[in-house]
Amino acid sequence: MLENVIVGSGIGGSLISALLKNTDHILFEQDKNLGGCASTFKRHGKYYNAGATTLVGYEKDHVLKNIFDSCDIKPNIQKSDIAIRIIQGEKTVDRVKDFEHFLEQVELLYPHPNNRVFWEKIKQIDEKFWQLQNIYFGKYKFSRYIQTSKFIKELFKVFGFEIFQSAKGFIDKNLYNIPQNYQDFIDAQLLITVQTTSKNISLLSLALGLAYPFHDVYYPNGGMGSVISQVLEDVNTHTKEQIQKVIQHQDHYEIISNKTNYKTKNVILNSSIYDSGKLFDDKKIKSYYEKFSFSDQSAFVVYLYITNKEKFLHHYQIILDKLLPNSISKSFFVSFSDQDDPKFHNNENGYSITISTHTKANYWKMLSPEQYEIQKYKLQNFIVEKFLEYFDTISKKDITKVFSATSITFHRYISRYNCGGKAIGLKNALELPSCQTPFKGLYNIGDTVFAGQGWPGVALGVDVLHKELSQNQG
């Protein structure tokens, strides 16, 4: 019997698998590419990153680096001196680690008497959060609630009642009479980091969402999938093997794949919390997963390959003055492959480019096949046209490949429609799914459970789960 079965090779599944590599385990991935939303794939002879290529949190005393170090992994990454270049009309702001340099740009382009007060508070809250010693969120056992209460107690001790303040209230108070373009500047960044705008989150989420470029931001050499491959180098990985059913028995779980059956003590699902229930026939388990309402948000991604000799940054965000068609965002995020990254260029003067924006997952599911193609190309063409407007050194003839993906595409390859979980707000904080479930030996990991999106958020959840499993084995 196996000790652990991990289903899905996204960031969460990969990190926990690396931490459990010395146990009797298997990591299953239904696709041929590792990484899920963080994968790198090949099409028409070129490589592309499935999603954005920002890697954050690899710095001293941060949980992600601690995980890498404990697994003796040195990721093949390079620091981006400019984390993101944000372009909004005629305004350009470089999100850099140097606070004074960043603030100088904001003061020039979005003048406000309280800019320093606002952004210093954002940076201060973020710094204090990552210094917390008891970050934890668990349910379904008295001991877990005790540990969670220690985390909440520390939050109160460090932040006081600030954690209950809404992001909108904080903005209204400190950036009173904020112009719409400044509000859009803030909200566009939040959609990338916490999957929502300032209307729906707490001050703590606002700070964590806006402050990440004050940390080191890295580009993954060879693509994000190469980092995942490094993480999984010593992990027993089965690709192109889909888990079709999980059956709970008294002292183990039976795992049925498209190839064979397995027995395991623990099942760790890196599928989203909204999609996990389909693996079970047991009514209690299905009912548990069905109580989490679907997060109807996904990504629309355009993939380009261009031939061009110009030098570009790794990451840009373009903010428009109105919503993109078929979208819930006014912006799109652009990730360029590095000019000297041989995996993407093959000795050509070329770039692999991933452009993403936010849409509703169910929108694409409701369209007829004919309308799906029409609306897909409508948004794809709009994004490409706007991209060319803002990158005037790139011409249409430079584009040698272009295609796009919707929530339907993601479901086809990685079995999930949505993009991330629900943002942590004041009303839903206690309803947030934990990595634990009420069922012995059944766990979830990834961006739909605590602590949320991105490498740092998912790594926090992985750290919580690893401690839980270590305690159980002890």
At residue 372, φ and ψ (nearest 5 deg) are -55, -50
User: Given a cut of 60, is residue 426 above it in pLDDT?
Assistant: no
Q: Is the per-residue pLDDT at 408 higher than 90?
A: yes
The yes-or-no verdict on residue 154 having pLDDT over 90 is yes
Query: What whole-number distance in Å separates Cα of residue 243 and Cα of residue 86?
Result: 41
Looking up tokens 């799906």 gives 372
pLDDT of the residue at 101: 97
pLDDT at 471 exceeding the cut of 90: no
Give 427's pLDDT tier (boundaries 50, 70, 90).
low
Domain ranges of the chain: 2-74+224-293+424-473, 100-212, 295-414
53 pLDDT above the threshold of 60 = yes
Band of the pLDDT at 162, cuts 50, 70, 90? confident
The CATH number given to 2-74+224-293+424-473 is 3.50.50.60
Percent share of the chain, pLDDT over 70: 97
Residue appearing with tokens 């990190």: 15
pLDDT band at 25 (very low <50, low <70, confident <90, very high): very high
Q: For the residues 113-131, what does the mean pLDDT come to?
A: 96
pTM: 0.95
pLDDT value at residue 429: 62
DSSP string, 337-349: PPTT-HHHHTTSS
Please provide the DSSP assignment of 49-102 as one string: ESS---EE--STT-HHHHHHHHTT----EEE-SSSEEEEETTEEEEE-S-HHHH
The pLDDT assigned to 347 comes to 66
pLDDT at 397: 96
3-state SS class at 280 = coil
d(CA 353, CA 404): 11
* Least confidently predicted of 235-249, 283-297, 327-341, 434-448: 283-297
As a three-state string, the secondary structure of 217-253 is EEEECCCHHHHHHHHCCCCCEEECCCEEEEEECCCCE
* Chain CA centroid to CA 260, Å: 32
| H/E element, 117 | helix 115-129
The confidence score (pLDDT) of residue 430 equals 67
pLDDT on residue 1: 95
DSSP SS3 for 15: helix
The whole-number pLDDT of residue 61 equals: 86
Quote the pLDDT of residue 142: 93
Whether the pLDDT of residue 218 is over 90: the answer is yes
Q: Does residue 422 have a pLDDT over 80?
A: no
Residue labelled with tokens 């999106």:
453
Other beta carbons within 10 angstroms of residue 340's beta carbon come to: 10
In this predicted model, what pLDDT tens digit does every residue of 246-274 receive, in sequence order? 999 999 999 999 999 999 999 999 999 99
> How confident is the model over 58-115, as pLDDT tens digits?
999 899 999 999 999 999 999 999 999 999 999 999 999 999 999 999 999 999 999 9
Q: What is the pLDDT of residue 425?
A: 59
Q: Left, alpha or beta for 346 (phi > 0: left; psi -120 to 50: alpha)? A: left
Q: What is the pLDDT of residue 296?
A: 85
Q: Which residue has the tokens 């740092």?
A: 456
Report which residue type is found at 473: Q
Question: 40-43 and 46-49: which strand pairing?
Answer: antiparallel
Residue 221 has pLDDT above 70, yes or no: yes
pLDDT of residue 226: 97
Given a cut of 90, whether residue 194 has pLDDT beyond it is no
Alpha-carbon gap, residue 344 to 368, rounded angstroms: 35
Q: What is the mean pLDDT of the chain?
A: 94
Q: In angstroms, what is the C-alpha Rg of the chain? A: 22
* Amino acid in position 216: D
Percent of the chain beyond pLDDT 90? 86
Per-residue confidence at 348, pLDDT binned at 50, 70, 90?
confident
How far does Cα 414 stand from its chain's mean position? Answer: 14
* pLDDT value of residue 293: 78
pLDDT of the residue at 473: 66
Q: Cα separation of 69 and 55, whole Å?
A: 16
Q: Is the pLDDT of residue 228 over 70?
A: yes
Assess whether pLDDT exceeds 60 at residue 474.
no
